[in-house]
């Protein structure tokens, strides 16, 4: 059992937000989506952001390691769902939404057919530095050309707090995605005053950044 599974089993999920992310609401239009389009949410947990995307008329595809997270998403939001097994992954499926449960790195392009966009609020920053390039490379492999990504990151002095979430700087984003994606930084603000967890640890700053990426190379 991984540490991630243990956290869900013991309900130690301090990263889970009880409200829809304000940066998603503000920058959603950057994805240029229309009703009926499909969006992918990696390491989705039971994020309420998926409800927002459903309310926008999108079809949502998520991937998450913990089946507890998927079960709680549907039950807590009173959504009916079915469970099946697809290519070794457990698939939780409701009206307009699918959540694949298993290892992100086993996900294939065939699971993301017709995906037009990716929303990454808690995936890249959940991974330690050693895994981030592998994550980006696999994401690049399974999404189509011209797909847009709305990427939200945090940056802070990593030596002052161990994470997760981990610190990811703009220079690292450019390095990770620069080979296959056009990258535009939409926002970068120091929001330390609204992050009591970091304040308690004496962290100097917490930069919250939003990027719009577009895949330009296969």
pLDDT in tens, 126-156: 999 999 999 999 999 999 999 999 999 999 9
- Indicate the domain borders of the chain: 1-10+29-122, 150-218
Whether the predicted pLDDT of 16 surpasses 70: no
Res. 18 pLDDT band, cuts 50 70 90: confident
Name which CATH class applies to 1-10+29-122. Answer: alpha beta
Residue 81's pLDDT is: 97
Q: Which of 1-5, 195-199, 201-205 has the lowest mean pLDDT?
A: 1-5
Distances (CA, A) of 77 to 46, 63, 95: 10, 18, 12
Whether the predicted pLDDT of 10 surpasses 70: no
Q: What is the mean pLDDT of residues 117-128?
A: 95
Whether the predicted pLDDT of 211 surpasses 50: yes
The whole-angstrom separation of Cα 165 and Cα 124 is: 9
What is the reported pTM? 0.94
SS (H, E, C) 111-175: HHCCEEEEEECCCHHHCCHHHHHHHHHHHHHHCCCCCEEEEEEEECCHHHCCCCCCCCCHHHHHH
Residue 7's pLDDT is: 61
Exposure class string for 3-12: b at 16+ Cβ within 10 A, else e:
ebeebbeeee
Whether the predicted pLDDT of 125 surpasses 80: yes
């Amino acid at each position: 059992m991984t540490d991630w599974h243990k956290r869900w089993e013991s309900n130690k999920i301090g990263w889970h937000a009880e409200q829809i992310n304000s940066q998603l609401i503000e920058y959603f239009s950057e994805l240029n989506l229309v009703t009926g389009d499909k969006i992918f949410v990696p390491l989705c947990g039971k994020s309420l952001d998926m409800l927002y995307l459903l309310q926008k008329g999108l079809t949502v595809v998520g991937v998450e390691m913990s089946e507890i997270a998927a079960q709680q998403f549907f039950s807590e939001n009173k959504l009916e769902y079915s469970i099946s097994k697809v290519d070794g992954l457990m698939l939780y499926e409701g009206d307009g939404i699918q959540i694949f449960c298993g290892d992100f790195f086993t996900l294939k392009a065939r699971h993301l057919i017709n995906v037009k966009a990716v929303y990454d609020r808690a995936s890249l920053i959940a991974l330690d530095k050693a895994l981030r390039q592998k994550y980006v490379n696999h994401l690049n492999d399974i999404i189509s050309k011209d797909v847009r990504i709305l990427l939200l990151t945090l940056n802070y002095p990593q030596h002052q707090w161990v994470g997760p979430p981990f610190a990811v700087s703009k220079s690292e984003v450019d390095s990770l995605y620069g080979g296959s994606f056009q990258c535009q930084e939409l926002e970068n603000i120091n929001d330390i005053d609204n992050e009591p967890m970091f304040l308690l640890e004496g962290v100097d700053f917490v930069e919250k950044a939003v990027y719009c990426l577009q895949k330009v190379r296969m």
